């Protein structure tokens, strides 16, 4: 009742809210439906995605509608501004890292797919698959996951199993593009057929998995996980280019370079 200003808190963000009529009442998570409200703010997309991941890890129920809502918002943003770097989230701490990394990978992957001339539907499918590419890590103990970059021995094997864990979990989800399970399983397979999961007969991964592999590696490099300091776009692209033809698809690396360093439209 007085004029004392109200400030945002860690768990409450104070500001203006625009409600779309059809979005009132919140998402129907049981059927994977979410309100159709646009999510132009990156913080809103990260918050929604983080909650989707928490629910999936706890119950095995995946809100596919919420994922679609996020990819639709990214598509609209890319239509207005095709530079995905302008729509990416910054580092927000270890707890939010899974959502930040998934979101940024999706923004880059969708930007690359759009640059290739794919229509809205296929781009959205790639976006959902990119959001879920690392979902297997949700089932890895948190104390192991936060030390991922320094692991060895049996603990490292837990992390190396996450593509299989992710694909297995996603295959149980109804109304989900099959591409999501493929990308979850293959995103750490290398262009030359090596990488993991280790295959008895090495083969080249699916094109969507090769695209997401490049996008997720670039996302890690530029998001500066663990406050190690940002790398530049140029140095990140150079890192990928040095490994093109072995780890990464040369065409995908070239597309990423054109997108983040060129004038894609």
User: What's the whole-number average pLDDT of the chain?
Assistant: 82
- For residues 37 and 29, what is the distance between their CA atoms, to the nearest angstrom? 15
C-alpha triplet 243, 248, 249: angle, nearest 5°: 125
- For residues 196 and 186, what is the distance between their CA atoms, to the nearest angstrom? 8
The phi, psi pair for 208, rounded to 5°, reads -65, -35
Q: Are 105 and 128 in contact (CB under 8 A)?
A: no
Helices in 6-161 by DSSP H: which ranges? 42-59, 64-80, 97-115, 120-131, 142-145, 153-160
pLDDT in tens, 232-242: 889 999 999 99
Scanning the structure block, which residue is given the tokens 């996020």?
70
- pLDDT class of 138 with cuts at 50, 70, 90: confident
Number of CB atoms found within 10 A of residue 168's CB: 15
The residues near 36 (Cβ < 8 Å, ≥ 6 apart) are: 20, 22, 23, 69
Most confident residue range from 29-33, 85-89, 128-132: 128-132
- pLDDT class of 139 with cuts at 50, 70, 90: confident
3-state SS, residue 215: helix
Give the up-direction half-sphere exposure of residue 43: CA atoms within 13 A in the CB hemisphere.
7
pTM of the shown model: 0.80
pLDDT in tens, 59-105: 999 999 999 999 999 999 999 999 999 999 988 888 898 999 999 99
Which residue would you say has higher pLDDT here, 1 or 23? 1
Q: Cα 27 from chain centroid?
A: 21
Q: Are 243 and 217 in contact (CB under 8 A)?
A: no
Average pLDDT over residues 173-191: 94
């Amino acid at each position: 009742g007085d004029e004392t200003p109200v400030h945002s808190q860690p768990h409450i963000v104070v500001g203006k809210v625009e409600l779309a009529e059809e979005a009132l009442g919140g998402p129907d998570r049981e059927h994977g439906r979410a309100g159709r409200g646009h999510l132009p703010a990156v913080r809103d997309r990260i918050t929604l995605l983080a909650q989707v991941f928490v629910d999936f890890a706890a119950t095995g129920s995946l809100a596919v509608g919420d994922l679609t809502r996020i990819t639709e918002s990214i598509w609209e943003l890319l239509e207005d501004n095709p530079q995905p770097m302008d729509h990416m989230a910054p580092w927000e701490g270890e707890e939010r890292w899974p959502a930040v990394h998934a979101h940024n990978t999706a923004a880059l992957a969708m930007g690359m797919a759009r640059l290739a001339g794919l229509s809205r539907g296929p781009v959205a499918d790639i976006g959902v698959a990119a959001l879920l590419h690392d979902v297997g890590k949700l089932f890895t103990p948190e104390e192991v996951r936060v030390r991922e970059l320094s692991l060895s021995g049996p603990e490292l094997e837990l992390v190396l199993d996450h593509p299989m864990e992710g694909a297995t979990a996603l295959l149980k989800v109804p109304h989900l593009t099959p591409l999501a399970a493929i990308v979850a399983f293959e995103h750490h397979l290398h262009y030359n057929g090596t990488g993991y999961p280790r295959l008895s007969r090495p083969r080249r991964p699916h094109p969507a998995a090769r695209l997401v592999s490049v996008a997720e590696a670039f996302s890690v490099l530029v998001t500066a996980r663990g406050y190690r300091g940002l790398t530049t776009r140029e140095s990140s692209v150079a890192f990928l280019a040095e490994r093109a033809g072995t780890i990464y698809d040369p065409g995908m690396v070239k597309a990423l370079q054109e997108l983040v360093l060129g004038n894609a439209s």
